[in-house]
Amino acid sequence: MLDPDEIRKDFPILERTINGRKIVYFDNAASTQKPIQVIEAMEEFMKKHYANVHRGLHTLSQEASQKYEESHEIVAKFINAYSWREVIFVSNTTEAINAIAYGWGLWNLKEGDEIIVTIMDHHSNMLPWRLIAQLKGARVKYVDINNEGYLKYEELEEKISNKTKIVAFPVASNVLGTINEARKIARLAHEVGAIVVADGAQSVPHVPTNVRELEVDFLAFSGHKMLGPTGIGVLWGREDVLEEMKPFKVGGDTIKDVTLDSIVWHDLPWRFEAGTPNIVEAVGLAEAVKYLSRIGMENIRNHEVELVAYTLKRFEELGEELEYYGPRNPHHKTGVIAFNVKDLNHHTTGASLDLFGIAVRTGMHCAHPLHYRLGLKGTVRASYYLYNTFEEIDYFIESLEKIIMLKEKFTREIPTSICTGT
C-alpha cells in the first residue's frame, strides 16, 4: 500500500511554509513537485556525465548517449510500448500533438475531410487541429458531454463517418477529471480508418497506462506532470504510423545523409528529435518513471480514488455554499476536482486559499469551450497526487468553511481585478 507520509520525505518543497503555514500543494494537474531522487539524478549527470549525445566517440559523449537512449527504454517499458523506437522525446504534450498535426495531418488531410475532437479537450489537443483544418480545408466536429461530465458516446458514433480521418480526445479531462473510454473511442475510429490521437497529459501520471490495451495510434504526455522536470514530454506512436509520418522539425540528428538533391532520414525515433535534445531532462524523466514504478501505478490510482471519495464526502458538509463539477463516482475520474464557492469569484477563492498555504488552480485551465459549455467563467481546481493526505483535505475543508463564513471580508481584501490569466 502507498504511504504518503513516507513518500513526502522525498519532496523537500513540501516542508516549505506559505504565509506561516505548511504548504498544501493541490495544483498537481498543472505541474507536480520533484522528489530528491530526480533532483539528484539530474545533478549527478551534469557533474559527471554531461556531453552532447550522438556527436562524439569520446567517453563523456558515449556515456551521455547511453543514458539518453536508456531513458527511451525506461519510458517505453512504463507505457508498455512495443519498442523503445516508438518513444519520441519532445518538449511537452503541446509539442507532441503539434508534431502529429503537422507531421501526419498536414500531409494526409485533404479538403472535405473531418477531424473529431471533444468539448472537454485542452486547447493543446484542439487548436492544432483547428489550424490544420483551416490549412487543408477540412472540418472540425465536436463531441459534447452530458450533465454528469461524461462524453456522449452516442453522439460520437453519429458524427464518425467515412470522412473522419482523425479522432482526438483526452484520456482524462484536466477540468472534470473524467476518464474516457479510450479503447471504445479507438475502435469506433478505426472502423472508418481514422487515426486516433490520445492526450495523456492527465492520465499517464495517475492511471496505469498500457498503449497496447488503449489501441490508440498516438499518445502524448509531459514529464513535469509526473514528477519529472519541465522541458521534456513524450510522443508515443505506433511504429508503422510513425514510419509514414513526416518530421515536424528537421535539422541535426534527423538524417543519415543529405546531398543537394536528396535526404535520407534517420531511423526512429531520431528523425523526430531535431537538434540537441533536452538530455538532462531526459535523465530526470527516466528517474521519475523509476520512482513511480517503485511506488506502483495501481497504488497511486487507488490512493487518488480514496482522496477524491473523501473530498466529495466532505464537500457535502458545505451544502449549497459549494458547487462541484464532473462525475460523482471517484472510480470514473482522476484526482481532479473543479468547484466554485457560491457568490465568490473563482480567483478570489484561490487567492483566499493561498492565505492558508493551500495551492490550487483558478481560471478556465486552458479549456475555455468546456467552461462555456458548463456556463461558467472559471473554476477552482484542486488536484491530488501520491504525496497528498487525508489530513490535508481536512485542513482544505476547514479553510473553505472559514472562507465561506467570511467571504464578504475576502471579497473586499482580495479584489478580482488583481487576478489574471486563464
Count CB neighbours of 146 within 10 A: 11
Pair 273, 295: CB distance under 8 Å: no
**Nearest alpha-carbon partner for 251 in 282, 278, 273:** 273
Mean pLDDT in residue range 315-327: 96
179 and 272: one domain?
yes
pLDDT at residue number 55: 80
Say if residue 286 is in the same domain as residue 338: no
* Mean pLDDT for all residues in the chain: 96
Instruction: Give CA 352 to chain center in angstroms.
Output: 26
The CATH number given to whatever domain includes residue 173 is: 3.40.640.10
Is 333 found in the same domain as 235? Answer: no
- Render pLDDT for 273-282 as a digit per residue (tens, 0 to 9): 999 999 999 9
DSSP string covering 369-394, please? HHHHHHT-S-EEEEE--TT--HHHHH
Are 288 and 336 part of one and the same domain? Answer: no
To the nearest 10°, report the CA torsion of 41, 44, 49, 51: 80
Whether 131 and 225 share a structural domain: yes
Q: Does 222 share its domain with 300?
A: no
In which element (H, E) is residue 151 found?
A: none
In 3D space, the residue among 208, 169, 168 whose CA is nearest the CA of residue 334 turns out to be 208
- pLDDT the model gives residue 414: 63
Mean pLDDT of the 28-53 span: 98
Give the residue among 194, 173, 198, 193 at the shortest CA–CA distance from 183. 198
Q: What is the pLDDT of residues 79-118, one digit of tens each?
A: 999 999 999 999 999 999 999 999 999 999 999 999 999 9
Residue 302: pLDDT over 70: yes
Burial (CB < 10 A; 0-12, 13-18, 19+), residue 412, is exposed
What CATH number is associated with residue 374? 3.90.1150.10
Q: How many domains does the chain have?
A: 2
Which pLDDT value is given to residue 247?
A: 94
In this predicted structure, the answer to whether residue 421 has a pLDDT above a threshold of 60 is no
Q: Are residues 128 and 202 in the same domain?
A: yes
Cell digits for 183? 479503447
**pLDDT value at residue 416:** 52
Could you report the per-residue pLDDT of 8-40, keeping only the tens digit for each? 999 999 999 999 999 999 999 999 999 999 999
Q: What angle do CA 310, 311, 315 make, to 5 degrees?
A: 120
**In terms of C-beta distances under 8 Å and separation of at least 24 residues, what long-range contacts does 105-108 make, across chains too?**
105/129, 105/132, 105/136, 105/166, 106/132, 106/135, 106/136, 106/246, 107/245, 107/246, 108/165, 108/195
Q: Is 80 exceeded by the pLDDT of residue 409?
A: no
Looking at the fold, whether 263 and 337 belong to one and the same domain comes out as: no
Q: Residues 366, 374, 386, 400: which is the catalytic one?
A: 366
**Residue 170 bridge partners (DSSP):** 199
Once rounded to an integer, what is the mean pLDDT over residues 164-181? 98
Residues 302, 290: one domain?
Answer: no
pLDDT at 408: 75
Same structural domain, 207 and 103: yes
Domain boundary among 274, 294, 314: 294
Alpha helices in 126-192 (DSSP H): 127-136, 153-159, 182-190
Distance between CA atoms of 297 and 31, rounded to whole angstroms? 18
Smallest CA-to-CA distance from 325 within 384, 371, 392, 385 is with 371
The answer on 216 and 71 residing in a single domain is yes
| pLDDT for position 95 | 98
Of the candidates 294, 322, 346, which is a domain's last residue? 294
Domain that holds residue 170: 38-294
Distances (CA, A) of 5 to 1, 17, 32, 334: 12, 17, 17, 21
* C-alpha 80: how far from chain center: 18
366 in active site: yes
CA distance 72 to 277: 12
The Cβ of residue 298 has, within 10 Å, a number of other Cβ atoms equal to 11
The per-residue pLDDT for range 248-271, each reduced to its tens digit, is 899 999 999 999 999 999 999 999
Q: Report the pLDDT averaged over residues 125-134.
A: 98
pLDDT, tens digit, 9 for 90 and up, residues 191-233? 999 999 999 999 999 999 999 999 999 999 999 999 999 999 9
- Amino acid letter for position 37: Q
Q: Does 347 have pLDDT greater than 60?
A: yes
Which of 294, 329, 351 represents a domain boundary (last residue)?
Answer: 294
In the block, residue with C-alpha cell 535539422? 251
Sign of the alpha-carbon dihedral angle for 341, 346, 351, 353:
positive
Task: Report the pLDDT value the prediction gives residue 413, as an integer from 0 to 100.
Answer: 65
Cell of 224: 513535469
Model pTM score = 0.96
Radius of gyration from C-alpha coordinates of the chain: 22
Same-domain pairing of 22 and 66: no
DSSP label of 282: H
Report pLDDT for 152: 98
